[in-house]
Amino acid sequence: MHVAALHRYPVKSLQGQSVPSAMVEPHGLAGDRRWMVIDGAGRFVTRRERPHMARIEALPTPEGIVLRHAGRELPVPFPDERAPHAEVTIWRDRVPARLATAEASALLSGALGVDVRLAYLADPALRPVDPAYAVPGDRVSFADGYPMLLTGEGSLGALNVHLAVPVTMRRFRPNIVIGGAAPWAEDEWRQVRIGTVVFRVVKPCSRCVIVTQDPDSGETAGDNEPLATLRRIGRMAKGGIMFGQNLIPDGSGIVRVGDRVEPVETGPSNLIRAGA
């Protein structure tokens, strides 16, 4: 088994990039989901309610990011200590963040048709992982709940067999895509070594409406796919419809496309059926 692809998403819910290698940090891949769009109350905004976020690119630079939309490019520097601060809300967490420039807010507000701002998580050590699945010291950036997400090409292939219109892995916005594993093999992993880094495989990933959206336009076909098929083929568990596994790194290091993937500890499927 090997790493087939690596992805990072500099701004939560905006377009991301495939990369040949990436540094694994305690809170996730370097540069992954350190920025987040927020509304006037400081609450996070995602493609769940604003599908057109899929049309905005966010490209990392040494100085910050570049936003691209409708032919326009805007460099956005990392906010320093003098930048306005805000308490932002992501799910049940309240986290201190720094606000990006007014120009960034104007571009995003114009693109989405609603007043929003762009926030930066200057210190990712401030947001703990859900203690039900973590150990003291585990931290996460602006990802939904866990530092990283792993998916398998074999599992996508097993799903696509049942779909009238196959989907690509981009629907699921993973960080690490595994090649050479049997369908759903990742359900039985408890620890996995990728390159030189060991990860805990803590729980399946519950999927939402975002996976029904075209990854470039945000549009949907109206058939609720692939969620409907995932439900039909039994990918249900307590907490929702599952595809992929959430990871917490135990250490740091560089992972690369082509790196060997080796399960260190395995067990029964962690897809605990609803009602079990």
pLDDT, residue 270, reads 86
pLDDT digits (tens, 9 = 90+) for 128-170: 999 999 999 999 999 999 999 999 999 999 999 999 999 999 9
273 pLDDT more than 50 = no
For residue 272, the model assigns a pLDDT of: 59
Distance CA 201, CA 257 (A): 19
Beta-carbon count within 10 A of 58 CB:
26
User: Which value, in Å, is the radius of gyration of the alpha carbons in the chain?
Assistant: 18
The rounded distance, in Å, linking the Cα atoms of 235 and 126 is 33
What pLDDT sits at residue 218?
A: 96
Would the CA dihedral through 147, 63, 19, 220 be positive or negative?
positive
Q: What is the pLDDT of residues 205-241, one digit of tens each?
A: 999 999 999 999 999 999 999 999 999 999 988 879 9
Adjacent-strand bridge partners of 194: 197, 261
Mean pLDDT of 46-58: 97
- In this predicted structure, the answer to whether residue 34 has a pLDDT above a threshold of 50 is yes
Q: How far is CA 78 from CA 3, 66, 121, 124, in A?
A: 30, 11, 10, 14
* Averaged pLDDT for residues 112-117: 97
Q: How many angstroms separate the most distant Cα atoms in the chain?
A: 53
Q: Which domains occur in the chain, in start order?
A: 2-28+129-266 (2.40.33.20), 34-124 (no CATH)
Mean of pLDDT over the chain: 95
CA–CA distance from 214 to each of 39, 168, 186, 235, 275 (Å)? 24, 10, 25, 21, 32
Instruction: Write out pLDDT tens, residues 73-104.
Output: 999 999 999 999 999 999 999 999 999 999 99
Could you tell me which residue, 76 or 275, shows the higher pLDDT? 76
pLDDT at 276 over 70: no
